[in-house]
Structure 1
Amino acid sequence: MTPPTLPFGPHYGFGLYLHWPYCTRICPYCDFNVYAAKDRDPGALIAAMSADIQRHADRLKGHPPLTSLYFGGGTPSLMPPAEIEAMIALADRLFGLAPGAEITLEANPNDVSATSPSDWAAAGVTRLSLGIQSLDDDALRFLGREHDSAGARTAVQRIAPVFDNFSIDLIYARPGQTEAEWQAELTAALQLGAPHLSLYELTIEERTAFGRRATRGELSPMLDDDQADLYELTQDITAAHGLPAYEVSNHASGPAYQSQHNLIYWRGGDWIGIGPGAHGRISLDGQRIATIAARKPAVYIAENTPPDEHLSALDAARELLALGLRPLEGFDLARLAQLTGAMPPSDKIEDLVSAGLVTHSGSHIALTASGRLLADRITMELAP
């Protein structure tokens, strides 16, 4: 059992992340561990993931019940609902599910048409995260998505009567996108009635198709100042519509609709990573342990017992700070002192307060609206 006095651990939340790596199409911006679905038989992977859950359960017997399950990917909505139900039941049997545990399934709009949302609800899913990405058909083609804007709207119409709690993902700050275009698109998305939005600026990663196009000079990312303007516009629009930011990129109509799974990451809780390439953080005997599963499905199926990496106190502290500053609720810097024996220099904190980038009271610190634009830089300045 992890002592509750530790600055990390399951007393900050305990979740299970299940990574389904297959997609019908790999998007050109995606840097996740994904593979083309083709006509793959999911049986071997599901068996390996189930065995992996059992392996973690055997060594985490002192952990409390799970507060969150998250089916991510890839495209986990390609999983048969019966297999989703079996995974949830296995997790409940081995760990237990806390009352009101959040069980999220990422879904593509086309899968909402192919599978009844009621089947997912019957399987035990309590929350859907819908990957719309845009409501502009030209943008959807640019992003390599298979659905169109009409299909996205239809998907929301099918989800809303079944799931009170659902989220919409959008990607903005696309090359050439204007403030007027983003304002119209975001306003239209807000009118769909989702109680949660995840709004991500387009990033061009080197290993992606977009990254290769950028290297060849065929694609130019939006300038940082223009991205910042769109970010500030996003905050104004969402707040005016009753979905203010509760984290750098996430917005909710109230605490009940905040992503409980992501809060585990940001608060320094424990989560088990299951599936090819999945990352986890678990606490055992007072140590912070990082796990990462084999990336290739065939290797994961053959041998899914990777070695643990024991994080040093310094690495654990830096990670806690980087994640803990992201939500608006802020972070208790005393947790760093528990690991490193020291607080960040007071003069650095005072400079950030004077610049209007953070608020500070006692050992608690939080980013301001301006500070959220510079979250990474602020983390570097405060990191031990």
Structure 2
Amino acid sequence: MSPALPDGEAVPDDGALPGWVRDAPGRPADADAFGVYLHVPFCTVRCGYCDFNTYTPGDLGEVSVGSSAASYARTALREIDLAARVLDDAGRGGRPVSTVFVGGGTPTVLPVADLALLLDAIRSTWGLAPGAEVTTEANPDSVTPASLEGLAAAGFTRVSFGMQSAVPHVLATLDRTHDPARIPDVVRWARQAGLAVSLDLIYGTPGESLADWRTSLDAVLACGVDHVSAYALVVEEGTRMAGQVRRGELPAPDPDDQATRYELADEVLSAAGLAWYEISNWSRTPDAACRHNVAYWRGTDWWGIGPGAHSHVGAGDRAVRWWNVKHPRAYADRLGRGRTPAAGRELLTAADVALERVLLGSRLSEGLPLDWLTAAGRTAVAGLVADGLLDGRAAIAGRAVLTLRGRLLADTVTRTLTP
């Protein structure tokens, strides 16, 4: 079960942004990075650990027109049209899209023709910036050589496969359905189609040994990919795995054990030439980093399309963030009646924006300028350097950059920097 939407103020039926977005000083709109996130809320099977906003055919039951996977693309086109109107009215239109990220769920449960239709709509509505990054997530058992070629022909440049592990018993605990032996094949097919490839891993699954984790890392490196994401398993309330842990059928992940796995991942990936650029992400070169996700951490603008998707638009030293209704049926119903699918929004003050800039920017290997911190935050830097959580040389040069130990205790660092 996906988590509840946050509380927030009501959004006008037409989705209009606050007037201060148009009136705020700052960089001209056409100089801003602008990303589009497209959420595909469908999977063939729900994994036991997953609390994302996604639905299987059994979850949806009898669905109305517009809320099924078969008709989803046509529904999402309506939000693209709405987004164009809202941004134009707020003086934030006219910007080509620099990154597109199609996530889920499993986006590749949709036909390639539907994904191409949505990308074409984004292209015709805003245009794609030169060299735009266009990513889709995919499960290894949801693609074929032909489908990957079709994605590349449609304009996709990158695919992120949910590998999670190379060990069958670990995949079984996670309720993943693919054969790990298929990973080298899908990587090869994607590359032959001209797509950049990222592999996603999860560490700390109950029953996973350190040797199992090393096997997964070695399998990733054997594929020769240029980007790897690795995330610690979190047992979320309401998931099937949470029930298994509560009943004693599975042990809860151990934070110290997960820290050991993170350290091993950083050691192995770094030795193979993949450098960390964000706490959970490594790339062979700066160009191989996921630019869409970096844009999130840098606080740029994006519009999230689809059930439960979040959006963000900044204006000067303020910003507005909003989120869509979660269920595909409610999403389709609102758009069908000409209403915004937004369920609520949050207006961020200058203090909020400054705080988030530190919270998000500190996750990046580039760190953040010390002058972004309050006086109290700057005073705390020396202690964090002494504790081995911030890099001393970077601090002397005027930046707060996490050490390896600091990455493991990033929440502590950010709390200390934002008293």
After TM superposition, the score normalised by the length of structure 2 is 0.84
Q: Give yes or no for the alignment of 1:33 onto 2:33.
A: no
Check if 1:380 corresponds to 2:403: no
In structure 2, stretches of 5+ residues that fail to align are 1-21
Label 1:283 to 1:55 Cα distance change in 2 as closer, same or farther (>3 A). Answer: farther
For 2:316 and 2:121, the matched residues in 1 are separated by 25
The separation in 2 between residues aligned to 1:311 and 1:206, in whole angstroms, is 28
The answer to whether structure 1 residue 72 and structure 2 residue 103 are counterparts is yes
8 Å Cα contact 2:159-2:195 kept in structure 1:
no
Partner of 2:14: none
Alpha-carbon distance in structure 1 between the residues aligned to 2:39 and 2:315 = 23
TM-aligned CA deviation for residue 3 of structure 1: 4.2
SS in 2 for 1:245: strand
Distance 2:74 2:388 in 1: 52
Percent sequence identity over aligned pairs: 38
> Where does residue 264 of structure 1 map in the other structure?
295
Query: Against the structure 1 CA distance between its residues 286 and 303, is the aligned structure 2 distance closer, same or farther, given a 3 Å change threshold?
Result: farther
- The reply to whether residue 181 of structure 1 matches residue 218 of structure 2 is no
Name which of 400, 404, 407 aligns with 1:365: 400
In the other structure, the counterpart of 2:179 is: 148
Kept after mapping to 2: 8 A contact 1:10/1:270: no
* TM alignment of 1:183-222, pairs within 5 A: 183-222=214-253
Deviations 1:154-182 (A, max 9, x none): 22232221234110011112223332322
Cα shift readout 1:250-281 (whole Å, capped 9, x = no counterpart) = 11110111001001011111111110000111
Task: Find the aligned partners of 2:220 and 2:332 in 1 and give their Cα distance.
Answer: 39
Map of 1:131 onto structure 2 = 162
Contact 1:44 1:301 in 2 (8 A): no
- C-alpha contact (below 8 Å) 1:201/1:227 kept by paired residues: yes
Structure 1 residue 300 corresponds to structure 2 residue 331: yes
SS at match of 2:36: strand
C-alpha change, 1:12 and 1:285, in structure 2 (3 Å) is closer
For 1:256-335, list aligned pairs within 5 A.
Answer: 256-284=287-315, 287-304=318-335, 305=340, 306=342, 307-335=344-372
Code of the residue aligned with 1:182 in structure 2: it is: W
Deviation at 1:190, TM superposition (A): 0.8
* Structural RMSD (CA): 2.2
The one-letter code sitting in structure 1 at the alignment partner of 2:51 is D
Structure 1: distance between partners of 2:41 and 2:142: 16
Q: 2:39 is paired with a residue of what secondary structure?
A: strand
Is 1:345 matched with 2:377? yes
Q: Which residue of 2 aligns with 1:52?
A: 79
1:20 aligns to what?
Answer: 40
SS in 1 for 2:237: coil
Report SS of the residue matched to 1:308: strand
Describe the SS at the equivalent of 2:295.
helix
| Residue identity opposite 1:347 in structure 2 | T
Q: 1:200 to 1:281 in 2, by over 3 A?
A: same
Q: Deviations over 1:174-208 (max 9, x none)?
A: 22333232222211211111111111111111121
Could you tell me which amino acid in structure 2 is paired with residue 353 of structure 1? Answer: V
- Supply the AA of the counterpart residue of 1:100: G
- The structural deviation recorded for 1:76 is 0.4
User: 2: CA distance between counterparts of 1:233 and 1:127?
Assistant: 27
Residue 6 of structure 2 corresponds to which residue in structure 1?
none
Look up the SS of the partner of 2:192 in the other structure. coil
Of 38-47 and 186-195, deviating more is 38-47
Q: What's the CA shift string for 1:226-259, capped at 9, x where partnerless?
A: 2111111111100011112111111111011100
The structure-2 alpha-carbon separation of the partners of 1:258 and 1:278, relative to structure 1 and needing over 3 Å to count, comes to same
SS in 2 for 1:122: helix
Change (3 A) 1:351 1:154: same
| 2:112 is the alignment partner of 1:85 | no
**Structure 2 contact 166–215 (Cα < 8 Å) conserved:** no
Asked whether 1:230 is paired with 2:261, we answer: yes
1:43 and 1:182 mapped to 2: Cα distance? 38
Per the normalisation by structure 1, the TM-score is 0.91
Unaligned runs of 5+ in 1: 337-341
Q: Tell me, yes or no, if structure 1 residue 104 matches structure 2 residue 138.
A: no
CA distance in 1, matches of 2:401, 2:147: 42
Deviations 1:86-134 (A, max 9, x none): 2112112221211000000111111113852101111111100011111
In 1, the alpha carbon distance for the partners of 2:367 and 2:54 equals 33
